[in-house]
Amino acid sequence: MKDGGGQSIIRFEEVSKAFGPKVVLRGMSLEVKRGETLAIMGPSGIGKSVTLRHAVGLVQPDSGRVIVDDHDLSTISREDLRELRKRMGYLFQEGALINWLSVGENVALPLRENTDLADEVIREKVEEKLALVQLRGTYDLMPPELSGGMRKRVGLARALVTDPEIVFYDEPNTGLDPEISMSINHLIRDLAERLQITSIVVTHLVSCILVVADRVVLVDQGRVFAEGTPDEFIRSQDERVVRFLAKPYD
């Protein structure tokens, strides 16, 4: 949704995080408004995946706060966090499929964990999401039989299977050929618009942000250094932005 105002659903307030001696986030502040699609771009190893993991409460900040839907994730009760997570979908960068479960059972996992739906209903929902990511007829395949791009799309079907309100996409295009990559971008956009999903997309592709993003933040050295619409970025004269968009992974 393109509205400029709106209520924030996710807010990072000066979040800092180190793993041992390695400082990753240094006062990261950002805001995601309800219904918008925010893209996060930044060099490799800078903490983009770590940022997403903070937003779902898998990682706690050393200092600062992460607020999701008015809950401070450092003080939220276990039960409330569980309820909040039911409303979220997460496409993991590495796919994170379980190799000894079929494609269909991998996609079904969030439904088995979070709902009491009957097997036939689960099967139906899984088939529907597999069709959505152009993987009709793959229910019984095993993950080792899949190409990288197919694994990614199975991960995407799993992220969407509960019809979440907030979806985190960590590099949704990796390993996909250009045509499927573009169709996934349009799918992300379409879901966001049709179902008013709030989406956070980590990507290094300008082609992706042009299709999906309402707003983009560029991160480096543990914090946001530029923010704007995709259009503003591609027109930007700011030397850091220009350099970054030319070679986002330097």
Ligand X SMILES: Nc1ncnc2c1ncn2[C@@H]1O[C@H](COP(=O)(O)OP(=O)(O)OP(=O)(O)O)[C@@H](O)[C@H]1O
Closer to ligand X by CB, 135 or 241: give it: 241
Q: If phi over 0 gives left and psi between -120 and 50 gives alpha, with beta otherwise, what is residue 165?
A: alpha
Which residues does 7 contact at the CB level (< 8 Å), separation at least 6? 33, 34
User: What's the min distance (Å) between Cβ of 53 and Mg ion?
Assistant: 10
Considering the complex, state which of residue 35 and residue 61 has its C-beta at the smaller distance from ligand X.
Answer: 61
- Binding partner selected for residue 7 from Mg ion, ligand X, none, CB under the kind-specific 5 to 8 Å limit: none
Show contacts with ligand X in window 12-51 (CB under 6 A). Answer: 19, 22, 24, 42, 44-50
Nearer to ligand X, 11 or 53 (CB): 53
Residue 93 engages ligand X in binding (rule: CB under 6 A) = yes
Residue 213 contacts ligand X per CB under 6 A: no
Of residues 47 and 64, the one with the C-beta less far from ligand X = 47
In contact, 42 and 34? CB cutoff 8 Å: no
> Which residue of 12, 37, 39, 49 would you call a contact of Mg ion, by CB under 5 A?
49
CA distances from 74 to 26, 50, 56, 79, 147 (A): 18, 16, 11, 13, 38
Count residues contacting Mg ion (CB under 5 A)? 3
Residue spans of alpha helices (H) in the chain: 48-55, 78-86, 103-114, 119-132, 148-160, 178-195, 206-212, 230-235, 239-246
The Cα–Cα gap between 223 and 244 comes to: 15
Enumerate residues 80-99 that contact Mg ion by CB under 5 A.
93
The verdict on 183 binding ligand X (CB under 6 A) reads no
Q: How far apart are CA 35 and CA 233, in angstroms?
A: 21
Binding-site partner at residue 46 among ligand X, Mg ion, none, CB < 5 to 8 Å by type: ligand X
Instruction: Quote the CA–CA distance of 212 and 198 in Å, as a whole number.
Output: 11
| DSSP summary character for residue 210 | H
Query: Which CB atom, from 143 or from 248, has the smaller least distance to ligand X?
Result: 248
d(CA 113, CA 15): 30
Q: How many residues appear in the chain?
A: 250
Question: Least Å distance between CB 208 and ligand X?
Answer: 14
45 binds, among Mg ion, ligand X, none (CB under 5 to 8 A by kind): ligand X
| Binding site partner of 44, from Mg ion, ligand X, none, Cβ cut-off 5-8 A by kind | ligand X
Q: Shortest Cβ distance from residue 168 to ligand X (Å)?
A: 12
Give the interface with ligand X as residue ranges (CB under 6 A).
Answer: 19, 22, 24, 42, 44-50, 93
